[in-house]
Amino acid sequence: MSASSPVELSATIARTAELLRGRRIALLTGAGISTDSGIPAYRGEGSRNRSDPMTIQRYLGDEAARRRYWVGGHLGWRSFAQAEPNPGHLSLAGMESSGHVSGVITQNVDGLHLRAGSSHVIEVHGTMRRVLCLKCGQVFDRRDIAVQIEERNPWITVPENVALAPDGDVLPESTDGFIVPVCTVCEGMLKPDVVFFGEYVPQGRFKAAESLLRASDAMIVAGSSLVVNSGVRLVERARRRSIPLIIINREPTRADVWADVTIAAGTSDVLPAIQELLE
């Protein structure tokens, strides 16, 4: 079942809550849950087109591309880090504390679920909070790398109007003269702890997501178009177990045909409404 008019939406949310009542719910969230926090999605409403996203191959093999990434990433991260959890994030944290939600599997790297108070969060695509050395394996706090960037490049400033991308990146006008940060232990190449285009989700993270799903008896997909294969694979596992599947997304997704309920509305409206009915 799906919803279109406000009356139908309200009725569908009520039926969804009844379907979920008494069940432990696993959440799979995508960029759409964070658009109301000012972070654009990759696709659909609230998205910002990226014609040339950074791939792992370019990052590792092209010094100019790597320099461009760090300039844009630094400028965008300053605004990215100021985003606050919205009602969708907060409702999931509330439902977890009351026992309705078993945990959140998120494709986002913004950390907003943790900041909202969710404790069982699996960040399958990594996080912008950490930076890794690809040579020695040292892990750094992103804030420390930001300090290094600004010390090495004192001319860099944060624009008042930064055009954010979903991974905290922006397109800078110039990268001339920019000095990229390096590992302070071995001077090796650094990379944010996020899965770039062309990379695979680390096996341990995906297994943790599968484990959370196995411990649940219902699944909600919130704010994801399910274009990325890791999300589709998890939905397939829920489908094979024949547990209730609810999809909340403004646009159609690849898995709508499998869903028990599809709700074409914003997560900031629907998730708090489900929480209220369950509690």
Tokens representing 53 are 């996203």
Residue 77, SS3 per DSSP:
helix
Report how far residue 265's alpha carbon sits from residue 191's, in angstroms, rounded to the nearest whole number.
35
pLDDT-derived band of residue 160, with 50, 70 and 90 as boundaries? very low
Higher pLDDT among residues 25 and 162, named by residue: 25
Confidence of residue 167 (pLDDT cuts 50, 70, 90): low
Q: What is the DSSP-derived secondary structure letter of residue 167?
A: T
pLDDT above 80 (res 23) = yes
Q: Tell which CATH architecture fits domain 2-278.
A: 3-Layer(aba) Sandwich (3.40)
Least confident among 152-156, 220-224, 229-233, 269-273? 152-156
pLDDT at 49 over 80: no
- pTM higher than 0.75 for the full model? yes
What is the spatial distance between Cα 135 and Cα 192, in angstroms, rounded to a whole number? 13
What is the average pLDDT score of the chain?
89
Mean pLDDT of 266-276: 98
* pLDDT tens-place string over residues 172-228: 555 778 899 999 999 999 999 999 988 999 999 999 999 999 999 999 999 999 998
Instruction: Check if 125 is active-site.
Output: yes
Contact 92, 101 (CB under 8 A): yes
Domain boundaries, the chain: 2-278
Q: Is the pLDDT of residue 80 over 90?
A: no
Partners of 189 in the β-ladder: 182
Give the H/E segment covering residue 194.
Answer: strand 190-194
Q: Which of 203, 209, 233 is nearest to 27 (CA)?
A: 209
Among 263, 253, 260, 261, CA closest to 107: 253
Higher pLDDT, 21 or 164: 21
Give pLDDT, residue 169.
53
Q: What is the pLDDT of residue 101?
A: 98
CB 217 within 8 A of CB 23: yes
Q: Are 131 and 142 in contact (CB under 8 A)?
A: yes
First to last CA, the chain: 23
The neighbouring-strand residues paired with 130 are: 141
Q: What is the pLDDT of residue 159?
A: 53
- For the stretch 32-41, pLDDT in tens is 999 999 987 6
Sign of CA dihedral 113, 245, 210, 128: negative
As separate numbers, helices (DSSP H) first and strands (DSSP E) second, the chain gives 9, 10
